[in-house]
Structure formats: C-alpha cells, structure tokens
A = this chain, B = another copy of it.
Amino acid sequence: MHDTHKPHSHNSHNEEHFQQSTLVRDIVIGMADGLTVPFALAAGLSGAVDTNAIIITAGLAEICAGSIAMGLGGYLAGQTEVEHYNSELRREYYEVKHFYEKEKEEVREVFAEYGLSKDSQNRIADEMAKDEDKWVDFMMKYELGLDKPDEKRAGKSAMNIGVAYIVGGIVPLSAYFFTTHPNDGLLYSSIITVGCLFIFGYFKSKFTGQPPVKGAFRTMLIGIIAAGAAFGIAKLVG
C-alpha cells in the first residue's frame, strides 16, 4: 500500500511510473558520465598541454565517442533484452505444452516457498493451468523474473542516453571555448561542472527517492576524484 503513489488505478499508475522512471534513468545514465568523463579528460589535459585547441579537439572527440558507445550500446542492450525475452517466451510455451505436469509442479514450488499448504498449492496450479497465456505470463515473471520489455524503448533509450551524454559533456568543455589558456579553462570548467554535478546529483537522488543532499555530494565527489586522478596521471606522463 503506497497511497501517495496511487493517483490512478494500479495498472495505469505502474505504467506511468515505469515510463517516467525509464526516461529519468536514461538521462541519469547519460548525464552522469557525460558530466564526469569529458570534465576529467579536459582537466587532465590542462595539466599537460598549453593550448585550449587540443583540449577542445580531444573533448569533442571524447563526447562523440562516449555518446555513441553509450547510446548505441544502450540500443543494442535493449534489443538483446527483447530477443532474450522472446526466446524464453517460446521456450515457456513449449514447456507448458510438452511438460505439462512438470510445469504445474514448478507453480506449486513457487508457493511452497511462501509456506502455503499443499492443498492451496494444488488449487493454484490447477486454476493457473486453465489459461495458457496467463500461466506462461506467470512463469515468465515469477519463475524467470522477466518482465515484457517494450520493443520501441531500445531506440528511444539510445537517443536519450546519447543526447544526455552530449549535453553533459558540453558543460565542462564550454569553459575552454571562452578562455585562452588551459589554466583559466580548468578553473572555470571546475566551477561550472562541480556546481552542475551537485545540482544533477540532487535531482537525480530526488527522482529516485534517495536523500538528495547526500546524493549531490556523492555525485560531485566522483567528478572531483576522476578529474583529480586524470590531472595527476597526465601531469606524470606529460
């Protein structure tokens, strides 16, 4: 019972919550890395080169590579999920047809785990077996832990993650456009990006129901550690 979360009927609510949370999740995935990695790369190069042009070139190449790797990677991961679900679905239909009794036994096992009586287990299995589609749906969800993935989501998700990465990556890099020396670029980039990481971490945590200030500091810290380490290693090598 989560009354505050149920303005609509159970199903429409779930769907809405799901849609919203997958968009937020995509943006969070893309932007977290987009803000952090190009920021750290630019910071690292700032300690090793003395012109902004190389930092901007490297930064844009990284944003390009990162957004494609994450976006296209996300797209293919989504496609793989759909393929996996469909192949398991075919297998489950095959099994309820050809291993009818064995599959009913598996339904009983699910409820035996929750301490239900033998009699109840039998009744559930008998009733469940009457509707093949619902039975297979039950086995997919409760035996295999698989929810039906949205086929169109893979493409949308790829776009969201890729665009979020680009938006995130432009933030730290922008400082190098408006300054002439890497030292100044690094200074303004750090101020802008650390601020954005804090705000991003705050809202990310708020959306996912976590303590927002703690989340803001955590997100900021990852960026600072990554930038510091990249600066250190580039200084060492350069």
Query: Which A residues are within 8 Å of any B CB, using their own CB?
Result: 1-2, 10, 32-33, 36-37, 39-41, 44-45, 48-49, 53-54, 56-58, 60-62, 64-66, 68-70, 72-73, 76, 80, 83-84, 87, 91, 95, 99, 102-103, 106, 109, 111, 113-117, 120, 123-124, 127-128, 130-131, 134-135, 137-138, 142, 145, 147, 208-210, 215, 218, 222, 225-227, 229-231, 233-234, 237-238
A57-B238, A64-B233, A114-B135 given. 5 additional CB < 8 A pairs?
A61-B230, A72-B222, A87-B209, A120-B120, A145-B147
Majority secondary structure of chain A interface residues (helix, strand, loop or mixed): helix
Residues of B within 8 A of A210 (CB): 80, 83-84
Q: Give the CA-CA distance A49 to B231 in the complex, in Å.
A: 20
**4 A-B pairs closest in CB distance:** A44-B61, A40-B65, A61-B230, A68-B226
> Contact partner of A60 among B137, B215, B234, CB < 8 A?
B234
Q: Give the CA-CA distance A37 to B36 in the complex, in Å.
A: 14
Q: Give the CA-CA distance A7 to B204 in the complex, in Å.
A: 43
| Cβ–Cβ contact A116 & B124, under 8 A | yes
Residues of B within 8 A of A62 (CB): 37, 41, 44, 62, 230
Residues of B within 8 A of A116 (CB): 124, 127-128
| Cβ–Cβ contact B69 & A222, under 8 A | yes
